[in-house]
Homo-oligomer: A and B are copies of this chain.
Amino acid sequence: MTTNTNFTKFEMGAIEELINQKFDGIQGKLFIGQKLGLTGSEASITCLPANTGVPFVNNHQKNEELYIILKGTGTFYIDGEEFPVREGSLIRIAPNSARSCKAGNQNLYFICIQAQEHSLTQATLQDGSICDVKASWMK
Would you call A41 and B115 a contact (CB within 8 A)?
A: yes
| Cα–Cα distance between A13 and B88 once the two chains are bound (Å) | 5
Interface size on A, residues (CB 8 A): 84
Please tell me how many copies of the chain the complex holds: 2
Chain B residues positioned under 8 Å from A133 (CB to CB): 57, 80, 98
Chain B residues positioned under 8 Å from A116 (CB to CB): 40, 119-121
Determine the residue in chain B with the shortest Cβ distance to A31: B124
Chain B residues positioned under 8 Å from A111 (CB to CB): 68, 111
Would you call B57 and A91 a contact (CB within 8 A)?
A: no
A:76-117 near B, CB below 8 Å: 77-80, 82-83, 86-94, 96-100, 102, 111, 113-117
Assuming the A-B contacts A98-B133, A136-B82, are A14 and B127 also in contact, with contact meaning beta carbons closer than 8 angstroms in the complex? no
Assuming the A-B contacts A39-B119, A113-B43, A115-B41, are A61 and B127 also in contact, with contact meaning beta carbons closer than 8 angstroms in the complex? yes
